[in-house]
Structure 1
Amino acid sequence: MNKSNKKIIFTSFFLLMLNIADATAMSELSDEEMSAETGQALFSLQQIAPNDASNPNINVGFYKLGMDAQVEINANINKLQLGCGGNKGIGCDIDLSEVRLTGTQAIDGNYSNTDAILDNPFIEFAIKNPNQASTREVVGVRLGAESVLGLLSIGSNPDPLNIYDDKGINTITGDLNISVTDSKLSNGCVQLIVCLPFTGTLSPYNTSISVNRANSIDLTGLQATTTSVVGFPIGLTLNNINVLNQPLSTVHNLLLSRDKEGKIPTKDFYLSLQTQAITWQKSSTQKFDHAQAQPGWWISLPNLQISNLDIKQQIDVSASDVINGVLFNQPIYINPIDLGHMPSNNCYGSLKFC
């Protein structure tokens, strides 16, 4: 192409861009024309004053910037540590290994092409003495969303028969509302001179707890029904089963959903950092009835579904405990166990963990 043709093409392109710019130029609207236009802003602002009747925090106001949008995310984080050391001493508020955040429904057994969905994400600031410039202070910041639907998968479990090789949740700080459903015991053993093997199912279990740098939790008041004893189909209900100091590292899949199928988004999920205890507002109800977030990093997981546990590690129960439990409703204590929980497969490309 010669220089003359290049010059003609460039001139034509320049004139075309001028025409486009002229066609899309802004024009002035009258007040009547402005009032006839409708639309919705991408961002919204909300303020809650310190003296608001519903605000239980003393002299603390809230300023919230929300986005009217849906965010989809698939992420792998090798190590997530927040709030380590400081005035709380050795350790971390939140310490998680091999974190995956994905969608709730696998595609051909893999979650790499699925996304967690965050509706209307926001950032919020808690300001102490907001009306006094000389003493105004940021005492908290919160990241969250009005609703979340996703699978939070953590750590690894190389051997479901060995509780000591699990890794994942090292420590966690926050309020957790846990529902356990559709879980079975595959390797129970009543100790009566010899082992009397049994299998069974766990009844649905719910607990709400607030924890501070916890690496274990107590599971109390569990109920199990045997499906077979020594190979015979016998239905025997065991009440008030307690597992003390169950390592959180044995929990690998946290379904962020209000249903065990993973189809109904959970409300009021957030992650916050505060210098003093703060009660944050629930976005879904506009009420201040969250558990009080303590100083440091805090995560609120209001709906955690843990389903389809297949506990294959041997569970030993003494015959006397079974008799006292069945006849007199006495507590039955069992040792911490590998829950048989397996993290999701989120392998893609050359990732080093899945």
Structure 2
Amino acid sequence: MKKTIMWALIGSALSMTNTSHALSVLEDAELSDVTGQALLNLEMQMGEDTRDALNNTYNQSNISFYKLGLSAEMELNANIKKLQLGCGGVNNSLISNTCDIDIDNISLSGLPASTDYTADQRAASSAIITNPFIQFAIRNGNSTATREILGFRISAEKIAGLMTLGTENSNVPNGINTFSGYMKTKTASGVAITEERNMTYAYTGMKIKGEVSGGLRSGNCGGLFNPCLDIAYESDQYNLKLSSTNAPFTIQSTVVSGTRLTDVKLKGAGTVGQINFEGPLTATVLGFLNLEKQVTGNITGLTTDITVSQDLGLIHALYLNNPASLSLQAENILWPGASVGANRGWWLALEDEVELGSLSPTTNVAISNAVLQQTINGINADLTNNPRACGNLLTGCIGGDALEVGNIPLTTDLDFPLTNLVLQGQEFKSNCYGGMKFC
């Protein structure tokens, strides 16, 4: 760990001589020409009855907040192998045999100058901590008989640096085990690539229904001499291979706040690129005729309502440029300047929005059966309302072996749940020289 404290003191010196010296009085005009800044500052602020950003009420008119601050900048590069605070204790009823804060392999360094920084460059950098302070919350501060210390917090006006948690960005959660505190993530975006998969009746439990349109003569039907006749069909024997596609999405700013959290839900929305499909379909026509078709086509227009259930052990890189604090309190307290009140016990708060980086998954995303089921009704509506031409009824519609469905435009908003994504923006380099994962 390295620390450098940069500060300056301005003073005057009195030398001892054989001649006596007398102190002189400065007039107000002379005092106005003297400037300086104290290294240490002590402030007291009375609490008030108020609400926090989550609309929780706090009655704090009888609480005094005493703050001892250091007017300085500190540079810090640090590695902490294990941080456990508040194990057991008053919050044990929430999740037993755990801690308020339990994090493995924490590293704090300077913010990288670029995305392709090396571990050696990171280890040589330092986070900048501006105006650190310690603060106490005291109830009935003016009464020696009933005075009570409710809590304290260690904080700073701003911390600019990269904080990483864990040793690697993999599909095995590591780093955060439990978290008590508050942070708000910035709006972020990414692109998911869906896996290929097959759509069958066994997966959807729903039939594909539609109509084909043909005439009694060859060629395109229509007109007086070869009118188009629409024939309905339905099938529970289909096996359509859906192609992989891109699905760009955006996750809105999310508040993470609570005691002994182990996961977080991120909400967002996105679009789905064109999905091509092909495969066999055996359908029943007119209630008794079976036709076998090799179906081809594509689906467009799908949008997504995304919910990402993310284990906090998959969040590794926090790019900080905001006030932060670590506090311990006997009851819920809204500390001065905090967005959200701190719950009793240990509490880690990152006040301004935290940058998570790219949310693009590092692996392809599987399409669930539930997602497939949401598309069937739209597919059936389009195939029924817009019968596909099949030429001659006997040789093309019933006797033919191919059916070009073409484009199926949908306006379906898919409920698209995702779980425990390994995110590209959570990749990070270690804070060590020599290629070590942690030191």
TM-score band by shorter chain is 0.7 to 0.9
CA distance in 1: counterparts of 2:153 and 2:423, whole angstroms: 32
Question: What's the TM-score, normalizing by structure 1?
Answer: 0.77
CA distance in 1: counterparts of 2:174 and 2:377, whole angstroms: 35
**Residue 203 (1) aligns with residue 253 (2):** no
Retained in 1: the 8 A contact 2:314–2:420? Answer: no
What are the Cα deviations for residues 124-165 of structure 1, in whole angstroms up to 9, with x where unaligned? 00001111112211111011111121111111336x4xx2x2
Question: How big is the shift at 1:112?
Answer: 0.6
* Matching residue of 1:11: none
What are the Cα deviations for residues 89-132 of structure 1, in whole angstroms up to 9, with x where unaligned? 22111111111111111584231111111111111000011111
Aligned letter for 1:73? L
Change (3 A) 1:131 1:112: same
* Matching residue of 1:306: 356
* Matching residue of 1:136: 147
Gaps of 5+ in 1: 1-22, 257-264, 283-288
CA distance in 1: counterparts of 2:168 and 2:185, whole angstroms: 20
Retained in 1: the 8 A contact 2:100–2:345? Answer: yes
1:250 to 299, 308, 314: 314
2:339 to 290, 299, 309: 290
* Matching residue of 1:213: 260
Counting only pairs closer than 5 Å after superposition, residues 132-281 of structure 1 correspond to structure 2 as 132-157=143-168, 160=170, 163=171, 165-189=172-196, 192-193=199-200, 194-220=241-267, 222-226=268-272, 229=275, 236=301, 238-244=303-309, 246-256=310-320, 265-266=321-322, 268-281=323-336
Change (3 A) 1:51 1:345: closer
* Matching residue of 2:37: 40
CA distance in 2: counterparts of 1:195 and 1:234, whole angstroms: 9
Retained in 1: the 8 A contact 2:302–2:414? Answer: no
Gaps of 5+ in 2: 1-12, 52-57, 201-240, 278-297, 379-409
Aligned letter for 2:35? T
Retained in 2: the 8 A contact 1:255–1:304? Answer: yes
CA distance in 2: counterparts of 1:173 and 1:319, whole angstroms: 38
2:374 to 318, 321, 326: 321
* Larger displacement relative to structure 2 (190-199 or 149-158): 190-199
Question: What's the TM-score, normalizing by structure 2?
Answer: 0.63
Retained in 1: the 8 A contact 2:182–2:349? Answer: yes
CA distance in 1: counterparts of 2:49 and 2:359, whole angstroms: 45
Percent identity of the aligned residues? 33
CA distance in 1: counterparts of 2:50 and 2:250, whole angstroms: 42
Retained in 2: the 8 A contact 1:48–1:63? Answer: yes
Which has more radius of gyration?
Answer: 2
Change (3 A) 1:83 1:113: same
CA distance in 1: counterparts of 2:111 and 2:301, whole angstroms: 35
Change (3 A) 1:189 1:73: farther
1:109 to 118, 123, 126: 118
RMSD (Å) for aligned C-alpha atoms: 3.2
1:49 to 46, 51, 68: 46
CA distance in 1: counterparts of 2:308 and 2:435, whole angstroms: 39
Retained in 2: the 8 A contact 1:192–1:319? Answer: yes
* Matching residue of 2:428: 343
Retained in 2: the 8 A contact 1:75–1:101? Answer: yes
Q: Equivalent residue of 1:65, what SS?
A: strand
Change (3 A) 1:51 1:330: closer
